[in-house]
A = this chain, B = another copy of it.
Amino acid sequence: MPEAASAQPVRATVGDSEFDRDTALTLREPGVHDIDLSAGWTIINAVNGGYLLAVLGRALGETLPHRDPFSISAHYLTASQPGPAVVRTDVVRAGRTLSTGQASLFQRDEDGREVERIRVLASYGDLDALPDDVRTTAEPPALPPMDQCFGPQDGPAPVDGSSAITDRLMIKLDPATLGWALGAPSGKGEMRAWFGLADGRDADPLSLLLAVDALPPTAFELGLSGWVPTVELTVHVRARPAPGPLRISVTTRNLAGGFLEEDAEVWDSADRLVAQSRQLARVRLG
């Protein structure tokens, strides 16, 4: 049906999408990459930590002999701002099946001094070289069909400040984890959603680094509000995601002493657990 076909919106592809353009780095010299951090991935008053991790992850993928982040650990030092930034990368060890690298993102302050924003340590490999053996006991999150889930565009913006990132993402939250948006948080530290990029670009290992930090904070469902700054975020990419929407579940089991962990699982359309992450974040106790 040519009509139907021509009625299809043009879907962005891996390599030609907002996400790819906004994570693109220019190699100034070996180990030094320039980038202009996009304002399109800001939320409240900050550049999204997952977008920043994807930028650092991409820089490492272009530096190391292996291209896929198997385990990437980021420690967030100071709040990044949209605008020029420099990523410095180092090869720590180049092995046969795994290589390890380090990267740091810097920006200049008002006085022109370089300030380090994030430091990352990561082990890279080749996901396509892994055996197919899968013995996962984890179950995909139970999510209602996408048309029974809700996104930011379905209601008033639940947070003050910028929500630019919501225009770049397709997020459809499970109504069971939406109490906070209706003023009735469940008290359970859970957030579940369908996830994709708004322009239709399919997921790849780099966009998984964005996905694990893209949902509203579980703290909202615990009755807390405001910014939940990430101290440290580690992501394990376990498989190359199949095309189609992702399902993400984020769980917090231990809110204590003003800190909480957020454990994220990302499942692809083929029911494969493609990424696991954990972050330590700081909360303002109400």
Contacts and interface: CB of A to CB of B under 8 A. Distances in A.
Contacts of A261: 236, 276
Copies of this chain, tallied across the complex: 2
Contact of A257 (B122, B133, B234): B133
A70 B234 CA distance: 14
Nearest to A102: B119
Looking at chain A, what size class is its interface with the partner chain? 35 or more
Contacts of A188: 137
A256 B123 contact: no
Contacts of A253: 136-138, 273
B77 A278 contact: no
Given A77-B100, A92-B119, A121-B119, A135 B255 contact: yes
Interface of A: 70-71, 73, 75, 77-78, 92-93, 98, 100, 102, 116, 119-123, 127, 130-138, 188-189, 222, 231-232, 234, 236, 238-239, 253-259, 261, 272-273, 276, 278, 280, 285
Given A77-B93, A137-B254, 9 more contacts: A78-B93, A92-B116, A127-B257, A130-B257, A132-B257, A133-B258, A138-B253, A236-B278, A261-B276
